[in-house]
């Protein structure tokens, strides 16, 4: 059964439908060797390429999946690295169709919670600023934190790409007492490049460790080894979809026997 190319590629994990439309308009998508057209209907047997690379199409809509991955320092959130460094994609489970999409990015020196999904539209909504999903981090900071600095970080600091601030900033678990390095818990609702580090650096403070512990309603929790993952639970999926205005597809009612 043929479907519109935007829907098929989104379900294949290429990108959201809107992003697929942009790829088509830029001439980066081909079907059976010919440039793709917006709204074009294709089937699972068609040969589709994006930027010259073949896309594996699912013969039927694959179930939506989300992985909760515990990233290590030193791992890259990229599919391929020219230098051969370790990436988060190397151990992920195989998909029948489509591919895993990382929800946002964590730089090489940041560890903690990373979400991955095979649903392009879900990935788009989880990162889009309009949904204002909270990201929470545990941050070890070197330097003196004064009430004046705290106030600035809460109210807003001008960075090179605009104003930024923490929605919340409060002391973390400082088991070692009042040393030079102190832990803080911070929350913000956007994912600009290195934003947490840059906010602290703007006040002359140095981040010596950065861990993402929550993304929207999902928490890192315990029980996952660094560099490994788990599939999220049905209740977690429900709360995640609700946070971005999506729903699970309705299940067909079971036939009654007798």
The set of catalytic residues is 107
| Residues 137-168: b if buried by 16+ CB within 10 A, e if exposed | bbbbbebebeeebbeebeeebeeeeeebebee
CA atoms of 56 and 47, how far apart (whole Å): 9
CA torsion 238-239-240-245 (nearest 10°) is: 90
Beta strands in the chain (DSSP E): 3-4, 29-31, 34-35, 41-42, 48-50, 53-54, 66-71, 101-103, 111-117, 135-142, 157-159, 162-164, 168-171, 181-188, 206-215, 218-219, 229-231
**CA nearest to 21, candidates 38, 8, 40:** 38
């Amino acid at each position: 059964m043929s479907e519109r190319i935007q829907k098929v590629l989104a379900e294949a994990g290429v990108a959201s439908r809107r992003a697929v439309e942009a790829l088509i308009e830029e001439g980066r998508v081909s079907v059976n060797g010919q440039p793709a057209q917006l709204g074009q209907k294709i089937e699972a047997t068609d040969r589709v390429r994006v930027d010259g690379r073949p896309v594996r199409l699912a013969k039927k809509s694959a179930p939506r999946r989300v992985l909760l991955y515990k990233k290590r320092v030193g791992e890259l959130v990229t599919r391929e690295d020219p230098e051969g460094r370790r990436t988060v994609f190397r151990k992920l489970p195989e998909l029948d169709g489509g591919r895993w999409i990382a929800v946002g990015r964590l730089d090489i020196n940041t560890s903690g919670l990373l979400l991955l999904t095979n649903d392009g539209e879900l990935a788009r909504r989880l990162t889009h600023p309009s949904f204002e999903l909270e990201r929470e981090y545990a941050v070890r900071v070197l330097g003196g934190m004064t009430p004046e600095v705290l106030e600035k970080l809460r109210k807003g600091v001008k960075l090179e790409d605009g104003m930024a601030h923490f929605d919340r900033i409060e002391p973390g678990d400082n088991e070692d007492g009042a040393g030079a390095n102190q832990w803080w818990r911070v929350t913000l609702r956007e994912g600009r490049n290195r934003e947490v580090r840059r906010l602290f650096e703007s006040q002359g403070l140095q981040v010596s460790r950065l861990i993402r512990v929550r993304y929207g309603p999902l928490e890192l929790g315990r029980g996952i080894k660094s560099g490994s993952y788990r599939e999220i639970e049905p209740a977690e999926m429900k709360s995640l979809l609700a946070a971005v205005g999506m729903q699970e597809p309705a299940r067909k009612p079971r036939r009654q026997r007798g």
